[in-house]
Every structure is written in structure tokens, then in C-alpha cells.
Structure 1
């Protein structure tokens, strides 16, 4: 019997996801991203096994930590896997258990890429979708993310607008949610318990995206480094939550 450890980078799970995305075009469509998220929903134990293997692979942990970060509102954006052919990413967003409900991503924003997301752990996600309006609504300052070639992560001022609510979708535990580049929304967990979503992110479709801040709110909202130890703790807490779901 071989004792050679599994190399996380060569794990079968991301290859299975890639197969769900593979088609005539190397740039997956939103429908293909949704199919991949549905695949993950149906293979939660395989996903958990992949997480365990990643956490046990020092090189993989170092690489994941390098491309991941803590959002200023206190949740982790973890890039587990990147692929060029087909072009996609598998991301894990984790809101650790806390005494207060997380604000999530409280600034209305859009995305440069399409994605499909599966609620892996927790009660679910509360979202509010917005649209710019000439009458009513609330005033915001609009910024462009990715507009400055010298500093792609900075926000560039792009005028003052008003936003109105156009929908309040809730995504429950186990659900799959899709989002295209036209959607402007905020996202937060429904409660203060551990919440995690798996995001299958497609290729970039637009050069910039929009972020809105309320008047007087600073646009300086830096991300924070995520360490290998942080990743290990998040995976440990998440796996414990998943194991408790299937315990007899």
C-alpha cells in the first residue's frame, strides 16, 4: 500500500469541477458556472475531503494564503483553486462565528465576472439588489474599481448618484445563487453563526466594476492579509460544522 501523500494541486475534485465547465469555449458561461456549483452541492463530502487535503499540504496552504485576504468587514475571501483552461476560480468565503451578525459586504457593488455560489454552511445569505435612479432612493458616491492602471485595487471617484432597492433575495442553506455583471448588491449572513459559501467564479467580462459609498463614508477600506494559520483555523471550524451535519 502506497504512503505517498496526495498532492493537493493535483487533486481530483477541481478536475471534476473543470469538467462541468468545459465546453466549446474556454470561458465558461453563467449556465456552466451554475452547473459547476450544483456539482459542488451534490458532492459536499468530496469537497470536504479536498479541503482536508489542502490544509495538510504546506505548499498549497502557502499559495492559497498568498492570493487570499480578510475583507475589512471581517470575513475571509479564500481562493482555493485557479484554472486557465477552462478559465475559472473556486473561492471559499467564510464568515466566522461571532457575537454580532456580520455586515458582510455592506457597500453596494457589482462584479467584473459572473459567478455561481453555493451556501455550504450556515443559515444562509441575505442580499439587497439596487439600481441607479433619478428620483427617490438614497444618495451614494459612485466609485470605479479597477480603473487606475497604476493601482488596480483602488477606488476612482465617478460621480454622485441615487440608488433604489430593486429586490431582496434570500439564499438559504444548500441553495445555489447566480450573479452576472449587471447586478449591484449587498451581501451578509442571515445570522451570527459560522457561514460559508463556495463561489465558482468565471472569467473577467468587464475592465471595471462599481462600488457605492454613502456620503461621508471613507473609500479607504483596505483588505487584510490572511495567513496560513488563518486558513487552517477556518478549514478546521468549517469541517467541524460539516461533520456535525452528517453525524448520526
Structure 2
């Protein structure tokens, strides 16, 4: 079985990366994701170690139909995360505080792009948002999304993705709700209230249960 020791070499392509260079980000992130998805035993071991790492466990988040497990939190500001989208998951059109690369491991989802966030604020006319690209992301698919892109995801069944999340480049991002026509700013952890942070923090029990479920589903099996 592969051990978790060689993580420095594994993450070397991301060292000193210019996160404004989307081509470089895509190439370096894909190299790392290729290694992790090819070595599912290693991916499983890295996931298992999160439970006994207080820092990483504290960064894991649980929402009603989405779980985020942080496998690595780098001093340079980037992270490796596993996302578990439950069946029926739908997120509102939004941008991000960071650029990221995603690899779909299991399941699938519809991915809709609406354009860039030029003049995208909490005063946006939500009804005017118009899809510019809609595609189905399936196992093995990889994409790199710039932080300025507005997008949304709808899961068709439980979907698991592995992502390289770049350093945050802004303090907040906009989330929209087409049903109500409202939009609002959402802030990063540095400016969250203690109650907000606690509400989304994954409990150790849920973290253990989620990791067990991933093993049972064969996510870490070649």
C-alpha cells in the first residue's frame, strides 16, 4: 500500500505557481490530480488522515447536501479538497474568491457558465443572468475555472470531485437566487462570525461517517 510520505513531491508542481496564469494553473493542477486519481490508495490514505489532523478537520464543512473535506492546506494559500455533492444538489449562480481545478471522480453534474463577473454585485439583475455554456461533467472530466467566472452546478446523483483550490484573491463573492431574484455578498472565513463558522463546520462524527461512506462506495478503489 502507498504511504502518505511522498506528499512534498506530489505537490511540487503547485509550488511557486502563478495563480493568475490560467494555463499554468491548469497544467500544474492536472498533474497533481492525475497522480491522486491514478493512486486511489494514496487518495484514501490522505483522506483517512484528516480525522486525526485537528487543523484539517476544523476546515472541513458540512451543508445540507454538500460536504467539503480538506486534504491539504498549504502555507502558500492553496488547498486540496474532496467535494461530495448529494443527489439533487443545486447551487445558485455565483463567482468565487479563488481559481480552481476540478476532477470528477464519481457521479455527474450539469455545469452552467454565465460569463465573467464584471460589474457583478449584490445589485445584479438576477433574472437577466443568461447561460453561455451548459455541459455535463462526468467521471474523468477536468476543468479549470477562473475566479471571475459566474457558474452553477446541478448534481444528477451523488457526485464526488477532487479539486485544487487556489489562494483567495478577494474577500467576498456574490451568490444569487433566481427563485427570489435576490443577490448577496458572501465572505471568507477571515470575516465570518463565530456562529456562521460553527454552523458550517463538519463534526468529527460526520467526518468519520462521510469518509467511511466514500470507502464503502469504492471511491478509493482502483
- Indicate the residue corresponding to 2:109 in structure 1: 125
- Structure 2 equivalent of residue 65 of structure 1: 57
* Unaligned residue ranges in structure 2 (runs of 5+): 187-195
Q: 1:225 Cα deviation (Å)?
A: 3.1
Report the RMSD for the aligned CA atoms in angstroms.
Answer: 3.2
Pair 68,217 (structure 1): closer, same or farther in 2 beyond 3 Å: farther
CA contact (8 A) 2:41 2:220 kept: no
- CA change 1:58–1:200 in 2 (3 A) is closer
User: Structure 1 residue runs of 4+, over 4 Å off?
Assistant: 25-28, 217-223
**Could you say which structure has the higher strand fraction?**
1
Shift in Å at residue 241 of structure 1? 2.9
**Alignment partner for residue 101 of structure 2, among 107, 110, 116?**
116
SS of 1:127's equivalent in the other structure is: strand
Distance in 2, Cα, partners of 1:245 & 1:110: 33
Cα distance in structure 2, aligned partners of 1:200 and 1:211? 21
TM-score, length-scaled by structure 2: 0.75
By percentage of residues, which structure has more helix? 2
**Contact 2:51 2:57 survives alignment (8 Å):** no
User: Aligned partners of 2:139, 2:130: CA distance in 1, in Å?
Assistant: 27
Give the TM-score of the pair, scaled to structure 1: 0.68
Computing the radius of gyration over CA atoms, which structure comes out larger, 1 or 2?
1
5+ residue gaps, structure 1 = 1-5, 133-141, 145-156
Match of 2:204 in 1: 228
Q: Do residues 174 (structure 1) and 140 (structure 2) align?
A: yes
